[in-house]
Amino acid sequence: MNPVLHKIVETKHEEILQGRGKSLPPRKIPVRPWESHLKTNSISVIAECKKGSPSSGILRPDYHPVEIASIYESSGAAAISVLTDSQYFFGSLSDLTSVAEAVEIPVIRKDFILDPLQIDEAYAFGASAILLIVRILSPKDLTSLHQHAKGLGLSVLVETHNKNEVKTALDSGATTIGINTRDLDTFEIHKNLIEDIASELDSSIIRVAESGIESYADWQKYKGIVDSMLVGTYFMKSKNIAKDFQSLLFGN
């Protein structure tokens, strides 16, 4: 685990300790179906709301997640990912709630989840799905957290970075597997990873391409290989999200 990722995980453990015993708000919206939105006749889009990241810094100084999410929904996004980490990605749980209440498509809490408390938070603040990252979890914890989320009726996107992690994800019961082309140890993008891994997954698995997607050519490249693409930085750098959303899907 590289120093940045290690520091993020340390911070998460501190946040979990601080959150123990705090009451959570009652959930206000229904849990929305995830699988039926992602698995369609084409490649669906999970569009991401994130102000910045450790590798890129501030991506969108004028960041209004509800406004962005509304554009995503009207543009045809199947689901919305909301970064809730505050220290490294400049997000919050209030962003999650605001977006979940503003749209009618499923919203996933994207964070570094290590403990059932964070899943309980995701549920309380309106998420319909959560992200679990194989790289930062033991197989036992991955399975336990996956079962905890399912027990609340939440869907789970399990993120992987190589074939060994995919096997671990499948063993945990994962039915939606993300293939992240950004190596969390080096932050480098390995685009061929999608083709190498997705083609070996059973068609019953929802396959999600993550990171480095920024053009119509990428969209075309992944047709027939994945079911969905998670796109964040491309949109966050856009001056016209609605226009660039259509360009991603249909070309210029």
Respond yes or no: is residue 150 known to be catalytic: no
Q: Give the alpha-carbon dihedral of 219, 38, 211, 131, to 10 degrees.
A: 180
Respond yes or no: is residue 48 known to be catalytic: yes
Per annotation, catalytic residue among 50, 53, 81, 155: 50
Q: Which of 119, 131, 100, 116 is nearest to 32 (CA)?
A: 100
Element (H, E) at 150: helix 139-151
Respond yes or no: is residue 23 known to be catalytic: no
The angle subtended at Cα 69 by Cα 64 and Cα 72, nearest 5°, is: 130
Respond yes or no: is residue 110 known to be catalytic: yes
Per annotation, catalytic residue among 75, 128, 172, 180: 180
Respond yes or no: is residue 192 known to be catalytic: no
Per annotation, catalytic residue among 44, 128, 155, 211: 211
Per annotation, catalytic residue among 48, 73, 121, 165: 48
Write the DSSP assignment of 73-87 as a string of letters.
HHHT-SEEEEE--ST
Respond yes or no: is residue 210 known to be catalytic: yes
Asked if residue 130 lies in contact with residue 154, where contact means CB atoms within 8 angstroms, the answer is yes
Phi, psi of 52, deg, nearest 5: -170, -175
Respond yes or no: is residue 86 known to be catalytic: no
Per annotation, catalytic residue among 15, 73, 121, 159: 159
Per annotation, catalytic residue among 15, 110, 155, 172: 110
* Residues with catalytic function: 48, 50, 110, 159, 180, 210-211
